[in-house]
């Protein structure tokens, strides 16, 4: 148990993950250093390594947090009568992530890092599988609707990555 004014290891990990998310969102896995995360958190780099085990584990914790936020958002979409309405509602919920650009960018960065790193790929695949299950259930097993939803997810990731609203305006 942490003493007065001290945070538990879990609370400190959550805080560091939250502080690391914008760094990984902007600079990616390869471009983010654990010492930059430590500086942002006001702690030593060895303490970051002690808490997470290394940069990959820290990145995976950030990726988990981003996907957990998406899952939580999608999990709160009300069940409407038709598959079309349900999948549209999932799409609308995912659009809300535009205001949480760091979450979307971390997912994009994770997908990019997954190309060369099997451990990251496995983590991303697990999260995508869970989102697919949610979409499949909402769509009533309609493959075309699920593909449409994932097309929207891909588009919104690209929009966030290149900041389309800044480029073309809010009504792009």
Res 138: pLDDT? 87
Instruction: Using alpha carbons, select from 150, 2, 8, 54 the residue that is nearest to residue 20.
Output: 54
Domain covering 9-162: architecture: Orthogonal Bundle (1.10)
Res 52: pLDDT? 97
Low-confidence ranges of the chain (pLDDT < 50): 1
DSSP string covering 97-110, please?
GGG-HHHHHHHHHH
Q: What is the pLDDT of residues 143-157, one digit of tens each?
A: 999 999 999 889 888
Instruction: Tell me how far apart the alpha carbons of residues 147 and 10 are, in angstroms, rounded to a whole number.
Output: 37
Instruction: Using alpha carbons, select from 38, 76, 72 the residue that is nearest to residue 55.
Output: 38
Cβ pair 96, 15 in contact under 8 A = no
Res 4: pLDDT? 57
Instruction: Tell me how far apart the alpha carbons of residues 129 and 103 are, in angstroms, rounded to a whole number.
Output: 18
Cβ pair 94, 70 in contact under 8 A = yes
């Amino acid at each position: 148990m942490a003493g007065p004014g001290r945070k538990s290891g879990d609370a400190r990990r959550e805080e560091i993950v939250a502080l690391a998310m914008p760094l990984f969102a902007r600079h990616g896995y390869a471009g983010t250093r654990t010492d930059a995360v430590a500086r942002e958190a006001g702690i030593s780099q060895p303490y970051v390594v002690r808490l997470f085990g290394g940069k990959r584990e820290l990145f995976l914790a950030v990726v988990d947090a981003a996907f957990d936020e998406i899952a939580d958002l999608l999990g709160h979409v009300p069940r409407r009568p038709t598959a079309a309405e349900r999948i549209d509602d999932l799409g609308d919920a995912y659009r809300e992530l535009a205001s949480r650009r760091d979450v979307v960018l971390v997912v994009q960065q994770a997908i990019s890092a997954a190309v060369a790193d099997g451990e990251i790929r496995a983590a991303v695949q697990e999260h995508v599988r869970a989102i697919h299950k949610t979409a499949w259930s909402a769509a009533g097993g309609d493959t075309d609707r699920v593909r449409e939803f994932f097309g929207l997810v891909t588009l919104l990731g690209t929009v966030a990555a290149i900041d389309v609203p800044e480029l073309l305006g809010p009504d792009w």
